Structure 1
Amino acid sequence: MSLESFGEQLRRAREAKQMSLGEVADATRISLKFLQAIEAGKFSILPQAYIRAFIREYARAVDLDPEKTIQQYDMANQEIRATAEEWVSRSRNAALRQTKERTREIASLPVFSQRSVTIFAVLVVAAVAVVYLLNVGSDSSQQDDVSEIAFDKVIRESEAATVRTESGRALPTFEARDDSLRLEITTIDSVWLAITIDNTRRGEYLFAPQRKRTWVGKEQFQISIGNAGAASFKLNGVELGMLGNRGVVARNVLITRSGVQKTQQ
């Protein structure tokens, strides 16, 4: 099974439940663009830890067995990886064979001309470069996570983006006052988070490890967070701790002036 077929299988399960993608997004608090990517089999946009958490949430929303669905994803992912490794191996061997053949041809010439020496040197350098690039590609295909640079770029774009309503209208900002609630997050590992402030303003974020951010509200914050044990919170400087365990998605956590009111996992 390919990753595209796996995504198609999830889409068919959703349609069998007569659910729209928007309804799945509401049920899971996962962004539409991420759900669309999952159904399209495009799993390279997030680190594997996030993809697996999102797949579990998606599976629950459409009444599939989350662990069985994860196993199917792992099998599809392994097939892609094996195919990539086989291609890299064949390409590397072909490049080496071609270089050896050309080397033998040049060596068999009666006299080494200056031009022959130059061609030989170029071929050797080219062969080394090809093998190096193929090795780099092979190493990259074995990594479960998107590279840190690429992920940080996604995070910066996500954090810098203006939060908008479904109609595209920019949401109003809230001016902090002395009686405001200030909620601060500090991440230990990669974290996805959706937050609704005072039932009016909503944001969705991807944080890398060792990041901090503060939100200001009047009455309450409602939070859904992936990898809940990888981030801690403070409310007006008072430690609230973590909202769940690592690898767990905590949904609809209500935080008011009194602290954490409820957690649904």
Structure 2
Amino acid sequence: MSEFYKELKLIRQDQEIDLEEIHNRTKINLNYLQAIEDGKFDLLPNTYMRLFIRAYATEIGANPDEAISNLEIYLGQKTDKPARKKKESSPPKETNQPPEEVDESVQAHSRSPKIVRSDMVKGITLVGILLFAIYIIRVINAEESAKAPLEYPHEFLDKKSISEQALQNNFDVLAESVQMIEEESPYTLKLATAERVWYRSTIDTLASNENVLPSGDNRLYEFSQSIDILFEHTIGLNLYLNGIKLNSFDSSSNPVRISLSAVDKTVTIQHFIPKS
């Protein structure tokens, strides 16, 4: 019984099967196959020892269960008991030096379900973080776009555009009024018009911008210090400060300047007429 491996070798030789053929079919290293036939089981990886001997016995036509039983007796791990019918499975224990050539399916079984579940949880977590980051970025971009006033291309600005120099040269101030602001900061000014109107706005310390408000449209501006708007006209125009309508200016076909100061808490309105 102690030389059972020699009997296996004789069976292989009787079957005229070369070790090279077994290597090609099982992908077991030739050195390991030779170690099996020499009885040098200490040269085999402990994790794959029984798996290799079972595959070797199957390839040469021997009884793999009997070969495993004889191996157990040889190693002193089993007394004279009937050969086990239960198929041996490779333990999930990892070795520092795995065999050089092992079938990929054997290596795949060495991954424990716990490791697979851990990898899946990590992957799902990373995907969730990525989707959340994309959502936050889109929300921030949407808020920035909503705050930015819509500016029309220059081709929409017609000849009714009025510069400061043209305003001084061609118009006189007809009337000026000052009204106190009762609302508290933060301040928002909404423009709504029934007629298409050109206007130029200056918010806080920013540079002035020219825009055209189409008929039936509206705009919303936020400011912290001041806002100054020169309108081409105020026909069909309504202004709302923090949702409260400003009624302190008249409808006019001539330019009107409206200045709101958060520092002084005042609304200054200037009506212009053409110079005679």
Could you state the TM-score of these two structures normalised by the residue count of structure 1?
A: 0.33
Q: Which has the larger radius of gyration?
A: 2
Larger helix proportion, structure 1 or 2? 1
